[in-house]
Structure 1
Amino acid sequence: METITLTTPALLFSAISLIMLAYTNRFLAYAAVIRNLHDKYLEKRNDSLLRQIQNLKKRLQLTKWMQIFGISSLLLCVLTMFLIYVDEDIFAAYIFGLALILLILSLALLIKEIHISNQALQHHIADIEEYLTKK
């Protein structure tokens, strides 16, 4: 097995940081939408609003796990760097491999979340099209 250097896990820092920023922005956007839908639902209990809230709940759960896997990946990259520093190269390589797997899981969940988001938007488009054909 080829040994890794300190720069190898360090290369992921900027990528993971940008991904975490994107995840945080998604989370904040969901929080704002959920608060808005909550207020609307209290005013007018509507099944459509309830479906939107349930959809957002799923997406929020996925975002939570995306963040957990992403942060864990970053943490393991730091641990990898420490292990390389203390000359534990073999152990460092395995920890770095685990960090990559966690990053892959995080990105896979992002794909799933994007798919759910797309489906939600398709429902809105269908509602608009239905309204326009009735007109």
Structure 2
Amino acid sequence: MDITTPALLFPAISLLLLAYTNRFLTLAQVIRQLHASPNHASPLVMRQIPGLKRRIHLIQWMQTFGVLSFLVCALSMLALYLHGEEAGKVLFGVSIVTLAVSLVLSLIEVLISTNALSVVVEDMERGGGA
């Protein structure tokens, strides 16, 4: 394995971190809008609060594991550069595992987000909403 193998993960991890940041900013905007709304204590909003809290924590952990993956990938490249073949391989493996954990957390967050949309659609079907 040479230094270019872990280098292949750099663009993928960078794009994932950008996507995670966008999800966080969108979620923050939704929460601020709900808080500023005169209906922020409505039953519909109250049903969404537990999911919003879970999503905040999941995005935090998604970003944490994404950054760890990026850092360990860089350390893998450094080890390979310094001719530490075995350490480079181990670090690359750890980088892939942390990236996989980040992706699983991302999937869970998407599922929670989809569930929140289902709550809104149910309310619309019942004739609620603005």
Give TM class, smaller chain.
Answer: over 0.9
Q: What is the identity, as a one-letter code, of the residue corresponding to 1:110?
A: S
State the alpha-carbon separation in 1 of the partners of residues 44 and 92 from structure 2: 45
**Counterpart in the other structure of 2:54:** 58
Q: Counterparts of 1:17 and 1:96 in 2: how far apart (Å)?
A: 16
Equivalent residue letter for 2:124? I
Moved over 3 A (4+): none
Decide whether aligned partners of structure 1 residues 13 and 59 sit closer, same or farther in structure 2, where only a CA change above 3 A counts. same
Higher helix share: 1
Cα RMSD, aligned residues only:
1.5
CA distance in 2: counterparts of 1:82 and 1:107, whole angstroms = 25
Q: CA deviation at 1:50?
A: 2.2
Higher-Rg structure is 1
1:131 aligns with 127
Segments of structure 1 that go 5 or more residues without pairing to the other structure are: none
TM-fit CA distance, 1:40: 2.1
Residue 115 of structure 1, aligned match among 111, 114, 128: 111
Compute the TM-score of the two structures, normalised by the length of structure 1.
0.89
Query: What does residue 88 of structure 1 align with?
Result: 84
Aligned position for 2:21:
24
State which of 72, 75, 82 in structure 2 corresponds to 1:79: 75
1:37 corresponds in structure 2 to: 34
Alpha-carbon distance between aligned partners in 2 of 1:104 and 1:44, rounded to the nearest angstrom: 36
**Structure 2: 5+ residue stretches without partners:** none
Q: TM-score, normalised by structure 2?
A: 0.92
